[in-house]
């Protein structure tokens, strides 16, 4: 399992005009690893995430997938390397049915029959089989999040990037999502960007904390959450 | 889905095949015009309703098809290759235009502006081709007056065996059914489903590994080819072509066809085209009202009252009636619907 990491960022920076959102970050992710990215608002998590997914091109540094340079590759090219992405605001095909959403995802690189089998499998796994014919735009927010996760799973990615998967979910939905993420992690690597500390505790092993565009600390979840510097950036230092 | 498709197809064939039995020659000639407009409406309905591409200048490809056929038919004498060119030239032109628009990441609103500009440019170019200097082979482009006496389609391989107006109607009807069936088939393929998915959410499609630029360019090119075929039929109908095929009125009319009939359907635009053409002719026979004025009122009424168009609204109505609980009809009928 040693050697070339699955995903690697080397000295990646992103500047918007005079603002440096991400400042020379080095980051590595192993095969089948589950990593959480946390940090306060404006810490640079989402910007970093978008550079990994090709939605933004870094102003400096390189991004490597299994040693292959994907810096500035277009999102569809990165997706074809078996990288599945769930964005912060759910990006789903609102006017189409749940099954059609997953089918379109599964159909790339598969025959229609294989894709249909994949749709059945994914819908059953996510418990969406009963609403397979419903139009996604009419579903509740949590269900739409799962539909999006379903489209990602149907791609059979080896690396899955989730941006705030638990946002706007009820407590039960959060619990189910955390179980799902752990189950996915048995076969696939994941990077999860998240705000919700409870959720992080449910899923995380290793956590990378962002603050002001840099990595503040990267360690085991318990050690990170009890770390004084992390508490400071999250809760804000009590001034005198 | 496929049953409704077969039913629609059967109905279309019955209507188109039955028309010669009840309509006279004049009726058939008019029907040929309606069909050419219906094919144009299909092209707009396909790229707009399914591809999400808002083209304000579908007339550009319509006109290119008309001109390509006219010029090639005059020069070659035999009409098979000109028919192919009437489809091929606008397809390639649309592919090129689409390439620059979609690969240049032009936003949706500007796609409308650019296509509109292109048709205006072509209108002006075609308008300024008067005089002897402007000929392609034997075909004089004729500027504002256009190209008269364009030979109609002939039986393939027999240039002297030209189609009668009634036979031309038959060919147009078959082509309309073919275009409709091909588009329905295309929409059922992987390509068609991805095109619709891109309309729904371009970012998601991209994150799934599809390149929206490529799909949109191909969709736009297909729409261009169909519009070109419509232009060829139009030129055959009148035996002549003039710059008005590129005109703003033509560009606007096809949008009205689609809006009226229903965006996101294929039959809707066909019905919209027939209805509007019928209306234009009916208005033209009286002197009291201006045709454009009435068309404007009709469009306004539709946008305000039936924004989805006739066909989708009928579908919704049918769904509501079906969903309504069956027993005790009296109170249900009283219940007000907002």
- The structural domains of chain B, with segments of one domain joined by +, span 2-250
Helix orientation angle between B248-261 and B310-323, rounded to the nearest 10 degrees? 10
Per this entry, what is the length of chain A?
A: 240
In tens, the pLDDT along B137-160 reads 888 888 888 898 899 998 888 888
Dihedral angle over CA of B218, B219, B221, B222, nearest 10: 120
- Say whether residue B206 is in contact with chain A using an 8 A CB cutoff: yes
| Closest among A195, A197, A140 to A162, alpha carbons compared | A195
Find, in chain A, the residue whose alpha carbon is nearest to that of B195: A104
The Cα of A168 is separated from the nearest Cα of chain B by a number of Å equal to: 20
Mutate to test the interface with B, among A74, A87, A104, A114 (most CBs of B within 10 A): A104
Cβ contacts of B54 within 8 Å, gap of 6 or more: B48, B108, B109, B111, B112
- Say whether residue A155 is in contact with chain B using an 8 A CB cutoff: yes
Q: What is the rounded CA–CA span in Å between residue B194 and residue B192?
A: 5
Q: What is the rounded CA–CA span in Å between residue B51 and residue B196?
A: 6
The sheet with strand A7-16 has its strands ordered as A19-29, A7-16, A60-65, A68-69
- Say whether residue B290 is in contact with chain A using an 8 A CB cutoff: no
pLDDT of residue A217: 86
- Say whether residue B25 is in contact with chain A using an 8 A CB cutoff: no
Q: What is the rounded CA–CA span in Å between residue A127 and residue A110?
A: 23
pLDDT tier, B333 (very low <50, low <70, confident <90, very high otherwise) = very low
pLDDT of residue B1: 53
Cβ-based contacts of B203 with chain A (< 8 Å) = 75, 87, 91
Buried b (16+ CB within 10 A) or exposed e, A44-70: bbbbbbbbbbbbbebeebebbbbeeeb
Tell me if residue A215 falls in helix, strand or coil: strand
**Quick one: what percent of chain B has pLDDT higher than 90?**
60
Across the interface, of A94, A107, A155, the residue whose CB is closest to B190 is A107
Tell me if residue B265 falls in helix, strand or coil: coil
* More confident position, B327 or B100: B100
Taking an 8 Å cut-off on Cβ atoms, the answer to whether B201 and A94 are in contact is yes
In tens, the pLDDT along B220-271 reads 999 999 999 999 999 999 999 999 999 988 898 899 999 888 888 999 999 9
Q: Give residue B56's region: left, alpha or beta (phi > 0; psi -120 to 50).
A: alpha
In tens, the pLDDT along B285-310 reads 777 777 778 888 888 888 888 777 77
Cβ-based contacts of B197 with chain A (< 8 Å) = 93, 96, 100, 104
Across the interface, of A53, A76, A93, the residue whose CB is closest to B201 is A93
pTM, two decimal places? 0.89
Tens digits of pLDDT across chain A (240 residues)? 457 889 999 999 999 888 888 989 999 999 999 999 988 888 888 889 889 888 889 999 999 999 899 998 999 999 999 999 998 888 999 999 999 999 999 999 899 999 999 999 999 999 899 999 999 999 988 889 899 999 999 999 999 999 888 888 888 888 888 999 999 999 899 999 987 788 888 888 899 988 888 888 888 888 888 888 887 877 665 443
* More confident position, B24 or B34: B34
Are A181 and A32 a contacting pair, CB within 8 Å?
no
Across the interface, of A53, A74, A104, the residue whose CB is closest to B194 is A104
Q: What is the rounded CA–CA span in Å between residue A106 and residue B235?
A: 45
Are A97 and A135 a contacting pair, CB within 8 Å?
yes
Task: Work out the mean pLDDT of chain A and round it to a whole number.
Answer: 88
Looking at residue B264, the DSSP 8-state letter turns out to be T
């Amino acid at each position: 399992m040693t050697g070339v990491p699955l995903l690697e960022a080397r000295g990646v920076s992103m500047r918007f005009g005079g603002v440096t959102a991400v400042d020379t970050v080095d980051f590595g992710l192993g095969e089948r690893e589950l990593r959480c990215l946390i940090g306060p608002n404006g810490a640079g998590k989402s910007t970093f995430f978008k550079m990994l997914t090709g939605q933004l091109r870094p102003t400096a540094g390189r991004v490597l997938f299994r040693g292959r340079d994907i810096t500035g590759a277009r999102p569809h090219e990165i997706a074809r390397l078996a990288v599945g992405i769930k964005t912060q605001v759910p990006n789903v095909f609102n006017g189409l049915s749940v099954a059609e959403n997953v089918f379109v995802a599964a159909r790339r690189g598969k025959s229609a029959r294989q894709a249909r089998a994949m749709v059945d499998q994914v819908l059953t796994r996510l418990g969406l089989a009963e609403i397979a014919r419903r139009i996604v735009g009419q579903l509740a927010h949590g269900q739409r999040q799962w539909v999006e996760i379903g489209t990602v799973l149907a791609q059979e990615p080896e690396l899955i990037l989730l941006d705030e998967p638990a946002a706007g979910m009820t407590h039960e939905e959060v619990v189910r999502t955390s179980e799902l993420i752990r189950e996915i992690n048995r076969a696939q690597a994941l990077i999860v960007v998240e705000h919700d500390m409870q959720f992080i505790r449910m899923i995380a092993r290793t956590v990378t904390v962002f603050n002001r565009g840099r990595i503040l600390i990267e360690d085991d979840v318990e050690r990170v959450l009890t770390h004084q510097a992390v508490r400071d950036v999250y809760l804000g230092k009590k001034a005198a | 889905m496929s049953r409704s498709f077969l039913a629609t197809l059967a109905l279309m064939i019955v209507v188109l095949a039955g028309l010669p039995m009840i309509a006279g020659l004049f009726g058939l000639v008019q029907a040929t015009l309606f069909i050419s407009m219906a094919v144009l409406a299909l092209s707009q309905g396909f790229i707009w309703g399914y591809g999400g591409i808002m083209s304000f200048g579908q007339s550009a490809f319509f006109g290119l098809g008309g001109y390509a056929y006219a010029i090639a038919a005059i020069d070659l004498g035999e009409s098979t290759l000109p028919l192919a060119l009437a489809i091929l030239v606008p397809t390639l032109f649309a592919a090129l235009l689409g390439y620059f628009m979609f690969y240049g990441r032009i936003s949706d609103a500007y796609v409308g502006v650019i296509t509109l500009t292109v048709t205006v440019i072509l209108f002006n170019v075609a308008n300024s081709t008067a005089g002897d200097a402007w000929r392609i082979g034997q075909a004089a482009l004729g500027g504002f007056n256009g190209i008269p006496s364009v030979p109609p389609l002939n039986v393939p391989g027999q240039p002297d065996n030209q189609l009668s107006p009634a036979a031309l109607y038959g060919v147009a009807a078959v082509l309309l059914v073919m275009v409709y069936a091909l588009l329905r088939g295309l929409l059922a393929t992987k390509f068609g489903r991805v095109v619709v998915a891109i309309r729904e959410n371009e970012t998601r499609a991209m994150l799934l590994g599809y390149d929206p630029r490529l799909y949109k360019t191909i969709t736009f090119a297909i729409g261009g080819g169909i519009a070109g075929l419509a232009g060829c039929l139009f030129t055959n109908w009148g035996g002549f072509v003039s710059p008005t095929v590129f005109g703003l009125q033509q560009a606007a009319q096809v949008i009205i066809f689609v809006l009226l009939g229903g965006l996101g359907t294929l039959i809707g635009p066909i019905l919209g085209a027939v209805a509007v053409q019928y209306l234009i002719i009916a208005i033209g026979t009286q002197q009291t009202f201006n045709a454009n004025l009435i068309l404007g009122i009709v469009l306004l009424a539709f946008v305000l009252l039936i924004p989805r168009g006739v066909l989708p609204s009928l579908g919704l109505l049918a769904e509501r009636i079906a969903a309504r609980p069956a027993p005790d009809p009296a109170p249900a009928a009283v219940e007000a619907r907002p």
